[in-house]
Structure 1
Amino acid sequence: MSSADWNMKTFMKGASILTISAIVVKLLAAVYRIPFQNLVGDKGFYIYQQVYPFIGIFIVWTSYGFAVAVSKLLAGSASKGESKAVMRIALIYLTCLSVSFFIILMVFAPFFANAMGDAQLVSLLRAGAYIVLIMPMLAVLKGSFQSEGRMTPVAVSNVGEQALRVAIILVGTWVAVRAGASLYTAGEVAMWGAVIGQALGVVILALFYRNAYKGPLERVDTWGIVKELTFVSLSVSASSLILLLFQMVDSFTVYNSLLAKGIVADAAMEMKGVYDRGQPLVQMGILIASTLALAIVPLISHHAAKKSGRGAEPFIQLTFRTAFLFGWAAAVGLALVLPYVNEMLFETRDGSVALIIFSFQIFWLSLILPLTAILQGAGKVKVPTLLLFGGLLVKVIANQWLVPHVDVTGAAVAGNIGFTVIALGLLLYFKKVWSVRLAPVRFYGWLLTATAAMVAVIIPWMIVADQFLFDNLSSRIGATLTALTAVVLGAGVFLIVVMKSRIMAEKEWYLLPFGRRFARVQLWLTKNRR
């Protein structure tokens, strides 16, 4: 085995470890919100979701964006002395940024809270501010490990910090609610859970860290490193930040617009809390797209560098078709069963129309995340980043126009409009960069056929299940059984049509995370046609 093969195998093994840990982290991030909402209700969920984007944006930017930027600079360093100098500059720069953001959040917390229409959010903003002080060490350590291809410490840290955070949020909230504390106190406990979780991440990485270099630091271009850190960190984290930025727009506009319309404060809070139920649903729905961006993109980068063979084109086509396929199936499937899923997870069917519209964001994000990642991997950063912020501006304008007319349903429509602008812009730019046909007409035809089959099976089943099979059970248990059986039935029918059509070849399934089983089922389904 050549050294090049060994390097690629090592690289892909590291990417696989990171991908699996990312799946666990994203699942935990989506799932914990459901028991949390059940503990604090829609008003308590509103309180948490108003403030979460403030800390979420900084977590993503530093622990993901800056970690990648540090990793890239370290990987390009010519010597140990240069690497140490880069790490030192990165740590000092990040520390300055962190302290600045900490001071801004502490001092201007009353301003931000009032701008969101709720002065009682000040304590949550100030509790969450402490997380930014932890970020410099976390980002630099992650970047150091990633530059060496040592993904295990990063994966352990990611899962450890998220698991502790979720545990503190849920246990702490339960204790606070049982003790009769206010919902704002429960929200503050949740903020501290995030802070303590990130602190554990630093401790785990520090335990793995070992670097015995004691020599002199080499002279490097400090200003050049700072510019590179800023540019790379913002560009690579832009697609991950966009969902949080859309949430922040909602934090500043939805509740205020509802109040301006004459809705009383408590009712407006509950309406915003019901609308926020869509966040964990979308996060779970885009899990496949997020995983694709992590797992397939390294393959694309590797093959794009090859001068022989077909290069990256087959992997680009595979990524697009898989993202389109599963993003569309998840969005349509969730929309169909949403009233039952809403009651199953959140106790009531309130806001189901808004959440059905909200769920279609899954489809657009399923295209945006891998497309942005592929373009960034090819060094095309500026245009995707501009498109992302253009879509954000569209969301701001659409919120201001739609929410006063149709309440939270308007915010859900505005989100879809913003993401549609980004996705279509990315596709048009993508076609300029690669003049490759992403999918044949046959692919879209069979996708519509599979969707029609799913709809034809799910709707009659839900009517029968709801009105006859589970009608003697409690409302929530009946909704749970209806939702789960409909999901299994719908997904089964959709996948059978897709596999029988062979719009995804068996060898393509094998390239996807956990795709081996799909390939085996497809081989069995199509064995008489071969």
Structure 2
Amino acid sequence: MTKDSLIKGTVILAAAAFIARFLGVVQRVPLQNMLGDLGMASYGIAYNVYALLLIVATAGIPSALSKLVSEKLALGRTEEAERIYRSAVWFAVTTGVLMTAVLLFGAPYYAEHIAKDVDAAVAIQALAPAMLLFPLIAIMRGYFQGRQTMLAGGLSQIFEQILRVVTAVVLAYVILRLGYDVKWAAAGASFGGVTGALAAFIVMIVFQLRLKRAASSERRTISVEGERLRRRDIYRMLFRLSVPISLISMAVPMIYFIDSSIVIPLLEPWTGFEQAKETLGILTGRAQSLAGIPPILAIALSMSIVPVVSSAFARNDHQEVAAKTSQALRIAVLSGLPVILALCVAARPINQFLFGDAAGTGIIAFLTAGSLFQIMMMTSGAVLMGLGQTARPVLYVAAGLMVKLVFSFLLVKPFGIYGILAATTLCFIVTMCLNMLDLRRSVRYQLLGRRWLGLLAATVIIAAVGISLEMALHSFGDWFGTRWNGFLHAALVGVAAIGMYPALMLALGGIRPDDVRHFPAPLRKLLGRWIKNQESGRAM
């Protein structure tokens, strides 16, 4: 199997992550229509608990495994890389069993006494069997990422989401048609995670068999150092790396878990239980799914950059480390911003088109705007992990989460749900700033330099034009019905925002001609023609 470059690997993972995220959003639309915001609150609580425990179950080992495997392969120690992988597999099987038990038996207590939604218990328990497989799937994905072969993980994500979506929607519909209440329909939707896990596992097994056949010709004699590499030594290396990585990777799932745990208790005294639960349903069912779209590329970069930077760092190639770091950070900002702008200015029509009404539009726009800082937090944290600097970033994540908790309690009374969302943005900002300052001490990266002025100017113009256009379209009334009107307005506003972005960025200096060569080929070709036309126009 061939190794993927940073750009190719990023494109593969980004495409898979985008498809998976798109299918996740598609899943939320029929579920929200069937379950309502109240039912989506129970489903969202279950999913956020599961997502957090999944990271705890794997203990960050996939990222640690990716780093160790890439380093061993870079040094020609193939047998050591294979032994590390086999040891990680045993760990995944053990922790999968333990975490399944935690979900099955701990769900009633958490739902009743912490999240204050007893209906969420069965939804959590319905997801529990997926925990048997997902730690193992995560380990296998980490191994293939360490080999810089991203297609396996990408395809497994896609098939996982397809089965998850189909199962969730069909089971929720059938359960409601049989006369059961929303609580059981939410549990049926949660069970989609189990069938998704089965699909992903089958894909990874197929790639494992292909790799085994392809790698048989490149087996090497076990080195002296390899013979001394005992299992307890392997676990010591894995845990030394994985515990910090796990804590770093838990930042976003932990934020969502915190929200699932505190939104109802904090809002209930001011809004009542029903309104508080409905607000949580909007946050988990609408806002979190849409706000998760812009960081897709950052997630792909985070997975791709760790083995690439680790490999260069192991060779003491500091120039390559600096170049890849600058490239990853720049791509993260420049690719995430237009999607954020489009989603924010078109939040109302998107909400109407997908979910049938405009409830929670402000929540969607507010949470999505803060995802720019999430993107930078995740990408800079991934680079630090690639450099083996995982101790201090753990403290940075802890500081960010402390800010999230403290300010959620401080701001909820004057600002309600927006105070809780502001605390989330502050968490991202604090962690991002600490990461970037630490990274500056290790790598001479260059993010945008003076390009920031052009980027800010382009952002202000796009936001102003997009909001004005959306308000003008909204003033014409509801001619085609709520959903079709929302679709039309969202398409017009979104296309306008994204279409203005490259032109304004180039005109105002946010993107320079020499940056274009790092873009994907179709966009590079399009912008290259635009630049030539501009230059020929000035020459005339």
Establish whether TM, by shorter chain, passes 0.5: yes
Q: Does 1:500 align with 2:500?
A: no
Superposed displacement of residue 429, structure 1:
1.8
Distance in 2, Cα, partners of 1:518 & 1:380: 39
Distance in 1, Cα, partners of 2:302 & 2:77: 31
Q: Does 1:526 align with 2:526?
A: no
From 317, 321, 345, the counterpart of 2:354: 345
From 24, 35, 57, the counterpart of 2:30: 35
Please tell me whether the aligned partners of residues 376 and 432 of structure 2 are also in contact (alpha carbons under 8 angstroms): yes
Please tell me whether the aligned partners of residues 318 and 508 of structure 1 are also in contact (alpha carbons under 8 angstroms): no
Distance in 1, Cα, partners of 2:349 & 2:310: 42
Q: Look up the match of 1:255.
A: 264
Superposed displacement of residue 285, structure 1:
1.9
> How does 1:176-195 map onto structure 2 within 5 Å?
176-195=175-194
Letter in structure 1 aligned against 2:64: A
Distance in 2, Cα, partners of 1:333 & 1:188: 33
Change (3 A) 1:286 1:436: closer
Any idea what the Cα deviations from partners look like across 1:204-256, whole Å, max 9, x if unmatched?
A: 22234334899999563333322332343344455543221101001110111
Change (3 A) 1:498 1:38: same
Q: Look up the match of 2:39.
A: 44
- Please, what TM-score do these two structures have when normalized by structure 2? 0.85
Superposed displacement of residue 282, structure 1:
1.0
Please tell me whether the aligned partners of residues 295 and 513 of structure 1 are also in contact (alpha carbons under 8 angstroms): no
Q: Look up the match of 1:204.
A: 203
Distance in 2, Cα, partners of 1:22 & 1:369: 15
Letter in structure 2 aligned against 1:66: I
Superposed displacement of residue 103, structure 1:
2.2
Q: Does 1:477 align with 2:484?
A: yes
> How does 1:272-351 map onto structure 2 within 5 Å?
272-276=280-284, 277-294=286-303, 310-351=319-360
Please tell me whether the aligned partners of residues 258 and 268 of structure 1 are also in contact (alpha carbons under 8 angstroms): yes
* Larger displacement relative to structure 2 (498-507 or 403-412): 498-507
**Aligned-partner SS, 1:119:** coil
Please tell me whether the aligned partners of residues 10 and 300 of structure 2 are also in contact (alpha carbons under 8 angstroms): no
Letter in structure 2 aligned against 1:352: T
> How does 1:350-429 map onto structure 2 within 5 Å?
350-429=359-438
Distance in 1, Cα, partners of 2:524 & 2:58: 32
Any idea what the Cα deviations from partners look like across 1:181-204, whole Å, max 9, x if unmatched?
A: 222112211221101211222222
Any idea what the Cα deviations from partners look like across 1:144-172, whole Å, max 9, x if unmatched?
A: 44455554433332222222112211222
Please tell me whether the aligned partners of residues 16 and 295 of structure 1 are also in contact (alpha carbons under 8 angstroms): no
From 447, 458, 462, the counterpart of 2:466: 458
Superposed displacement of residue 451, structure 1:
2.0
Distance in 2, Cα, partners of 1:196 & 1:11: 31
Q: Does 1:449 align with 2:449?
A: no
Superposed displacement of residue 85, structure 1:
4.5
Structure 1 stretches of 4+ with a deviation exceeding 6 A read: 6-12, 77-81, 212-217, 305-309
Superposed displacement of residue 124, structure 1:
1.7
Please tell me whether the aligned partners of residues 124 and 187 of structure 1 are also in contact (alpha carbons under 8 angstroms): yes
Any idea what the Cα deviations from partners look like across 1:396-431, whole Å, max 9, x if unmatched?
A: 222222224432222111111111111122222222
Any idea what the Cα deviations from partners look like across 1:267-306, whole Å, max 9, x if unmatched?
A: 2211211222210111112223334445566665566667
Number of residue pairs aligned between Structure 1 and Structure 2: 522
Please tell me whether the aligned partners of residues 18 and 154 of structure 1 are also in contact (alpha carbons under 8 angstroms): yes
Letter in structure 2 aligned against 1:466: H
Distance in 2, Cα, partners of 1:198 & 1:146: 19
Please tell me whether the aligned partners of residues 85 and 219 of structure 1 are also in contact (alpha carbons under 8 angstroms): no
Letter in structure 2 aligned against 1:154: G
Please tell me whether the aligned partners of residues 246 and 395 of structure 1 are also in contact (alpha carbons under 8 angstroms): yes
Superposed displacement of residue 307, structure 1:
6.8
Q: Look up the match of 2:164.
A: 165
Distance in 2, Cα, partners of 1:459 & 1:122: 41
Letter in structure 2 aligned against 1:451: T
Distance in 1, Cα, partners of 2:168 & 2:525: 36
Change (3 A) 1:370 1:82: closer
Superposed displacement of residue 343, structure 1:
1.8
Distance in 2, Cα, partners of 1:81 & 1:472: 66
Please tell me whether the aligned partners of residues 286 and 365 of structure 1 are also in contact (alpha carbons under 8 angstroms): yes
Letter in structure 2 aligned against 1:438: L
Superposed displacement of residue 524, structure 1:
4.4
Change (3 A) 1:410 1:147: closer
Gaps of 5+ in 1: 1-5
Letter in structure 2 aligned against 1:194: G
Please tell me whether the aligned partners of residues 42 and 273 of structure 1 are also in contact (alpha carbons under 8 angstroms): yes
Distance in 1, Cα, partners of 2:529 & 2:306: 26
Identical pairs, percent:
24
Change (3 A) 1:176 1:525: farther
Superposed displacement of residue 32, structure 1:
2.5
Please tell me whether the aligned partners of residues 296 and 512 of structure 1 are also in contact (alpha carbons under 8 angstroms): no
Change (3 A) 1:326 1:88: closer
Distance in 2, Cα, partners of 1:488 & 1:89: 49
Letter in structure 2 aligned against 1:67: P
Distance in 2, Cα, partners of 1:239 & 1:519: 37
Distance in 2, Cα, partners of 1:416 & 1:154: 30
Distance in 2, Cα, partners of 1:461 & 1:10: 40
Superposed displacement of residue 106, structure 1:
2.1
Q: Does 1:433 align with 2:442?
A: yes
Distance in 2, Cα, partners of 1:331 & 1:13: 23
Q: Does 1:134 align with 2:133?
A: yes
Any idea what the Cα deviations from partners look like across 1:427-472, whole Å, max 9, x if unmatched?
A: 222222235553223x12211221232134223322332223x543
Gaps of 5+ in 2: none
Distance in 1, Cα, partners of 2:452 & 2:20: 32
**Aligned-partner SS, 2:358:** coil
> How does 1:74-89 map onto structure 2 within 5 Å?
74=69, 76=72, 82=80, 85-89=83-87
Change (3 A) 1:61 1:524: farther
Q: Look up the match of 2:124.
A: 125
Letter in structure 1 aligned against 2:235: V
Change (3 A) 1:340 1:8: closer
Q: Look up the match of 1:3.
A: none
Change (3 A) 1:492 1:325: same
Distance in 1, Cα, partners of 2:355 & 2:365: 15
* Larger displacement relative to structure 2 (20-29 or 121-130): 20-29
Any idea what the Cα deviations from partners look like across 1:16-48, whole Å, max 9, x if unmatched?
A: 544433333333334432332233211111111
Distance in 2, Cα, partners of 1:208 & 1:494: 39
**Aligned-partner SS, 1:462:** helix
